[in-house]
Structure 1
Amino acid sequence: MNPSTALARVLVDELVRGGVTDAVVAPGSRSAPVALALADAERDGRLTLHVRIDERTAAFLALGLAKASGRPVPVLTTSGTATAHLHAAVLEADAAGVPLLALTADRPPELRDTGANQTIAQPGLYGGAVRAAVDVGVPEAGREEAQNRYWRSLVAKALLTARGALSADPGPVQLNLPFREPLLPEDADVRVVGPWSGRPDGAPWTGGSVAAVERPADAGPARTLVVVGDTVPELGRAAAELAAARGWPVVAEPSSGAWSASVRGGALLLGVPGWLAEHRPERVMVVGRPTLSRPVSRLLADPAVRVETVGTSPRWADAGRSTTWVGGLPAPGAPPGRTPATADPAWRTAWRAAADRVGTAVDGVLDALPALTAGVLARDLVAALPDGALLVLGSSTPVRDVDRLAVPRAGLTVLANRGVAGIDGTVSTAVGAARVHGGRAFALLGDLTLLHDLQGLLVGEGEPRPDLTLVVPDNDGGGIFAQLEPGQPRYEAGYRRVFGTPHGRDLVAVAEALGWPAVRVSTSAGLADAVAVGGPRVVVVRTDQRAEAELAAALRAAAGEALDHG
């Protein structure tokens, strides 16, 4: 077989043997050898192939697959600008620790810097956003045995690096694959066979892990709060178990894996200065990357609070530069003296009671509204979802509405692209996550987030259609800005043009034009009926930017009043 076909087939074989179950392809010429090898692997039942016409959509689809499954997922592009369209998803995978594998087909080195078609400087294209970037080298004839060993070891190392098995720091990896012509196989059906050089026959390569650092002995009881941001679900659940064993209250973001253990509306609690002054924790244990709430950020920056960060790699979260200790998460049953002591039971009870008062106040405001708003939508959608469902939350307002207003519950898998927290690629991320979830899947995302990734709704011929319901609060533009500084009256003259950005589109018609059944609802009962149908489906709820901003202020005021009079 020709060298390009040989590299492609060995690469795909080693990916499968290393645990890859899904791969994503955007069509192209230079990537043809690998695309055909992936198609062969799917026909053999060795993996599931997903094909998208747009590279950015393909990359975010792969991100969703990897995020939901925890397994590395390769995304393949042709050379040139196609590779640049992966960058946003690579950045998200970097910040969120998602094992994305960027397979970038390339022209051979002799065509670089010559003005050759579709040729750019691809090695190192993603800079420090990848854990490793390897320019694989052009496959050559006559060196089959040596190249076989090199290619297999390279792929195995890439998978281990992406998983974080060697560094406890998972994330994206780039394999740049330069091919010379001929690109297409001369044979109709040739399979790669063993023996497998460099390891026991038939066994995948494995790696070690980084041992957690034990926390130093503590002097005695402390008022400890556990704050859990976006992280891998296993770590979030472990943090929740530790907090339960120690009697510590938890403030957890919806995509943390610990949300079901969180007090409701933690951001609203921490945003009431009088209550916080009385119940300020002495110690905060931070797990993951908390990014949603300004009150949480202010707490972590408070010099009176000792901030301890759970981290097993150099990439721990410390945006406020306030961490005084970094180490591994202790086991719930660790011997006394190796973890902070159990909290004051009365203090934990006070947190729970305060959360209940705030929740009652929030529900009172929301239930009195005459129409279905984004806030009511976030609360009621979470409550209406069936056990076992997947919920993907768009960045911007939806994830914050769920964080502040919904009742934390078990029985859901909640994901969000909070690594870099962009709105791009969210539809494709949700489609990818839905494909591997294995049950009902839902996404709550804003109108601009939907429009930013309309290509994600394009499911080509022969591609499976996901059981995914997209729920879209449509405020005709960038409604989050109405709740932030740009929404203040003194910026009114320029607000609509550069922040509100009205699009004027009928999102039901847009979704239907792309092949997704769609419906518009205006009541909680209508919402419950719409989400019960199953996907693929788009559910649109019309809202108002300024009304949502006024509601956010009313909810903060209600929380303050409930705690001041509690």
Structure 2
Amino acid sequence: MAQVNTINDPLQAENPTYAYVNAFIDELQRSAVHNIVICPGSRSTPLAMAIAAHPGLKTWMHVDERSAAFFALGLAKQSGQPVALVCTSGTAAANFLPAIAEAKLTHVPLLVLTADRPHELRETGAPQAIDQNRLYGTHVKWFVEVALPEATNEALRYIRTLADRAAALTRAVPAGPVHLNLPFREPLTPAPLPDHPLPPVERRDPILWQGRAENAPYVRVNDAPLGSIADEDLEQIAAQARATAHGLIVVGPSFDPTLTTPLLQLARTLRYPILADPLSQLRGGSHDQSLIVSSYDAFLRLEDFTERFVPELVIRFGAMPVAKPFLLYLNRYADCPQIVVDAQGDWNEPTRLATHMIHARPAAFCEELTARLTPPPVRGDEWLQGWLQTDRTTRQTLQAAIEDFQAPFEGRVFTELAALLPEGSTLFAGNSMPIRDMDTFFWGGPQTISTIGNRGANGIDGVISSALGVSAGKQARTPTVLVIGDLSFFHDLNGLLAARLHQLDLVIILINNDGGGIFSFLPQAAYPEHFEQLFGTPTGLEFQPVVQMYGGTYQRPADWSAFRQTFQQSIQTRGLHVIELRTERTSNVAMHRQLWQAVGSALRNQED
């Protein structure tokens, strides 16, 4: 049987499905889609074979659809470029949903390509056929039921335009996932179809069949621009800020490197402290950190502090910070004007207290507001220095108390990592307790450390896969470290296969307290009769065998000195490394509460 030439020589294609799909895949590559994650299956054969044959694409194979989707999520987060995700028809597509929901909420550009049965095989009892139209509902920005393949100039014009439009839409503000559902009839392989000949070469428009010259896209699509800031809004905010000495700048999760310099300049001009979320990228690096407050999760729990430090203006950038005490602090002072600046056109305002929503580039907002504050307002530094001194005292108190603990303390992982992580590292925090301990105990330093988490839907699923996707997207060989709890680790064990298949580097710090540690901090813990069955959910699993099954190294250091040595060895060695720390849930809660008491005592002594 003759073999069809693929995308490398599209004018010689002999199969109409492949002529159509090759044009589509070629156009995706021209639209800056360079990484495609593929799950195996039959109905997706045309997509998979066209992708594998294209020299400009990097293919990442995954056998588990849920893990594959989270891997693509992490890869897109790290690269900042759209990543395509391919699966066959049926329930395979349904397994993409958790990662798609996370991508929608955190504005990660994913292009979801689900293969499907043709229309005549739907709702007929055909195998592996479910209703895939609008399968992801409102969790995607756009859905298209793609036309069945044809090998005509008009069909290729349609499919190239669709590829450009879909890829651009994943990036356009607000960025997020787009879903294309592609039905295919059999045969699915690229063999010639004598009954369906392609038009003669002389009737094929070379631009449609081969693409534009110099790898240019068929249709250039500019990302949707953010709205400009109205002069009257800026003047009003500037007047408000100039008249307000007791203000705060708050930065939630952010991946915008252009924000740091103008943000710091705005804070210096206003003499406001910056409350920096652990995922804000502000807690560590070579930039000026003199106005950064990073331990507010601890001291905003204290009535003494929140009674004395009453905010009069809050300027917040992006989503809400992790710290629940900050949310409660805002709710306590509901009359305080709150300006929210959002780069994605979202409504990240769970307090429902915002007085002004600004949809604009945060860096541009800072620059334009600072320009209107020239000359800067003249005011004392009592407010600013009060926050900064409280932050210093809190950090010193926590550090000293943590080192006195005899039992393993989960939060210490992050104080250790702040000293151990080299420049350029990436620290990925799992949800539930790890991200909260990161918030309280990771204070940063002179090293630039990229901090990442899945803080859209905040699920514990797919975290390993997301971290491996981040590792795959890194250009330089710098460490990627994941801190994760045992239930979340168990939830995504299939994700470990990617490290072996694609020779990826990842150090996982597994905090194993045999269950759901966060519930011990919640009101459910006051009802012990069914607590372990319903919330603690211990599994008693030994993870060493499964880590070794996937080709990783597993170690369980006996103390913090051994942890440091093990960690240093792991980040200097290629491959998958799992460092397990055994902790105990009840004592972990007790140690956290001792720390809050120690901070309260230290701050009261500071005032005396």
Q: Normalising by structure 1, what TM-score?
A: 0.92
Q: More deviation in 151-160 or 212-221?
A: 212-221
Q: Indicate how the Cα distance of structure 1 residues 235 and 99 shifts in structure 2: closer, same or farther if over 3 A, else same.
A: farther
Q: How does 1:124-523 map to 2 (within 5 A)?
A: 124-141=134-151, 144-164=152-172, 168-186=173-191, 194-195=206-207, 202-204=215-217, 205-208=220-223, 209-214=225-230, 215-217=233-235, 218-219=238-239, 220-222=242-244, 223-234=246-257, 237=260, 240-246=263-269, 247-260=271-284, 261=289, 262-301=292-331, 302-327=333-358, 328=360, 329=362, 330-332=365-367, 334-337=370-373, 344-409=380-445, 410-437=447-474, 438=476, 439-459=478-498, 463-488=501-526, 491-523=527-559
Q: Where does the alignment leave 5 or more consecutive residues of structure 1 unmatched?
A: none
1:319 and 1:371 map into 2 onto residues whose CA distance is: 37
1:37 and 1:338 map into 2 onto residues whose CA distance is: 58
1:460 shift after superposition? 7.9
1:202 shift after superposition? 3.4
1:90 and 1:172 map into 2 onto residues whose CA distance is: 7
1:186 shift after superposition? 1.8
2:159 and 2:461 map into 1 onto residues whose CA distance is: 33
1:287 shift after superposition? 1.3
Report the counterpart of residue 84 of structure 2 in structure 1. 74
- Secondary structure of 1:308's match? strand
Q: Percent identity?
A: 33
1:25 and 1:537 map into 2 onto residues whose CA distance is: 25
Q: Indicate how the Cα distance of structure 1 residues 542 and 480 shifts in structure 2: closer, same or farther if over 3 A, else same.
A: same
* Deviation sequence 1:530-556 (CA, Å, 0-9, x none): 222234110000001111111121122
Contact 2:44–2:87 (CA under 8 A) maintained in structure 1:
yes
2:538 and 2:42 map into 1 onto residues whose CA distance is: 39
2:262 and 2:176 map into 1 onto residues whose CA distance is: 21
- Secondary structure of 1:255's match? coil
| Aligned residue among 83, 101, 109 for 1:99 | 109
1:331 shift after superposition? 3.3
1:280 shift after superposition? 2.4
1:225 shift after superposition? 1.1
- Secondary structure of 2:555's match? strand
Q: More deviation in 66-75 or 380-389?
A: 380-389
Contact 2:278–2:442 (CA under 8 A) maintained in structure 1:
no
Q: More deviation in 209-218 or 449-458?
A: 209-218
Q: Indicate how the Cα distance of structure 1 residues 233 and 487 shifts in structure 2: closer, same or farther if over 3 A, else same.
A: farther
1:175 and 1:341 map into 2 onto residues whose CA distance is: 53
2:262 and 2:328 map into 1 onto residues whose CA distance is: 22
Q: More deviation in 234-243 or 441-450?
A: 234-243
1:555 aligns with 2:595: yes
Q: Indicate how the Cα distance of structure 1 residues 506 and 344 shifts in structure 2: closer, same or farther if over 3 A, else same.
A: farther
1:368 shift after superposition? 0.3
- Secondary structure of 1:50's match? strand
State the one-letter code of the partner of 1:391.
Answer: L
Contact 1:221–1:342 (CA under 8 A) maintained in structure 2:
no
* Deviation sequence 1:166-219 (CA, Å, 0-9, x none): xx20011101111111211126xx9x9952599786323230412332443233
1:26 aligns with 2:39: yes
State the one-letter code of the partner of 2:187.
Answer: P
Q: Indicate how the Cα distance of structure 1 residues 129 and 364 shifts in structure 2: closer, same or farther if over 3 A, else same.
A: same
2:212 and 2:273 map into 1 onto residues whose CA distance is: 48
- Secondary structure of 2:207's match? coil
Contact 1:221–1:344 (CA under 8 A) maintained in structure 2:
no
State the one-letter code of the partner of 1:257.
Answer: Q
1:4 and 1:342 map into 2 onto residues whose CA distance is: 70
* Deviation sequence 1:489-510 (CA, Å, 0-9, x none): xx11111111111111112233
Count of paired positions: 553
2:439 and 2:343 map into 1 onto residues whose CA distance is: 26
Contact 1:227–1:287 (CA under 8 A) maintained in structure 2:
yes
Report the counterpart of residue 63 of structure 1 in structure 2. 73
Which of the pair has more CA radius of gyration? 2
1:50 shift after superposition? 0.7
* Deviation sequence 1:10-46 (CA, Å, 0-9, x none): 22111111112211011000011111111112xx2x1
Contact 1:196–1:202 (CA under 8 A) maintained in structure 2:
no
State the one-letter code of the partner of 1:216.
Answer: L
- Secondary structure of 2:350's match? coil
1:90 aligns with 2:100: yes
State the one-letter code of the partner of 1:155.
Answer: A
Calculate the aligned-residue CA RMSD, in Å.
2.4
1:280 and 1:314 map into 2 onto residues whose CA distance is: 29
